[in-house]
Amino acid sequence: MSEPLTLRIAHLYAHFLNIYGDRGNLITLLQRSAWRGIGVTVDPIGLNEDFDPAMFDIYFIGGGQDKQQQIIAADLNCRRKKLHEAVNGGSVILAVCGGYQLLGHYYRPASGDELAGISLIDAWTVAGSRRMIGNVVVRRPDGSTLVGFENHSGRTFLGKDVEPLGRVITGNGNNGDDHLEGTAQAVGRGKVFGTYLHGSLLPKNPIFADELIALGLARRHNSVKLPPLDDALENEAHERALRLRA
Ligand code: GLN
């Protein structure tokens, strides 16, 4: 009898980085796990709340306006050591937009002080003069596509050894210049996924959602092959989004 599968997810700063509907990503991870009989939990980790880095398989941090980022940045830096320890030990992070920006070295907003990031990835972000808003289509290295919606003024640049999540087909992505979007960077035994794709991202990108679930499960269970789900509706939504203009 194989061991029952469990998946433990931490939601960082749920009450602050939450204005772009990114909690839909958690709903997707919960539902796609529950449909497979996986025992999945989501625990919020807020300001001044500590956590055991050995506890969680997946960490999620959403997007937010500069103001919310300013509120949480100092606290996130207090968690820096534990988040590095968690990812090096095999955990996965999915970070969207404002959360993604703070995983790099810094985020320099259009006004106010530069915000220190936790340097989990070799990247940095500087606000540009124009806001990048619209539909985005990204081609991943395996040829699959991601669809979503971007709304950011920050322009993120990746260090030379950092893997992007994919190449932009429609829209701006990281900075509107290098045609790269996000990051999919192995760190120790774990992985850091950053992206500018709101939407929320995962409901219309079931392949990526399942990649995150499988990676999260692999931290404490032997590598798991997820049974397929009926993704007709998700794939229809994905195909329609592919046809949207930027
Ligand atoms: N405030 C950041 C920016 O404007 C992040 C925005 C977001 O999370 N959508 O770039």
CA-to-CA separations, 190 to 68, 86, 94, 154, 184, in angstroms, rounded = 27, 8, 11, 26, 11
Does residue 84 carry a catalytic annotation? no
The residue to mutate among 16, 17, 65, having the most atoms of ligand 1 within 8 angstroms of its beta carbon, is: 65
pTM surpassing 0.85? Answer: yes
Mean pLDDT, the chain, rounded, equals 97
* The one-letter amino acid at 201: L
| Active site (annotated) includes residue 97 | yes
CATH topology classification for 6-242? Rossmann fold (3.40.50)
pLDDT tens for each residue of 102-130 = 999 999 999 999 999 999 999 999 999 99
Q: Where are the domains of the chain?
A: 6-242
Half-sphere exposure (CA, 13 Å, Cβ side) for 117? Answer: 22
Q: How far is CA 191 from CA 95, 135, 212, in A?
A: 11, 26, 10
| pLDDT band at residue 2 under the 50/70/90 scheme | confident
From the alpha carbon of 96, which atom of ligand 1 is closest?
8
Provide mean pLDDT across the span 22-45.
98
- Atom 5 of ligand 1, residue of closest alpha carbon: 98
Output the pLDDT for position 70.
97
Q: Which of 11, 152, 198, 238 is catalytic?
A: 198
CA distance 150 to 194: 13
- Of the pLDDT bands very low, low, confident and very high (cuts 50, 70, 90), residue 210 is very high
Average of per-residue pLDDT across 185-195: 98
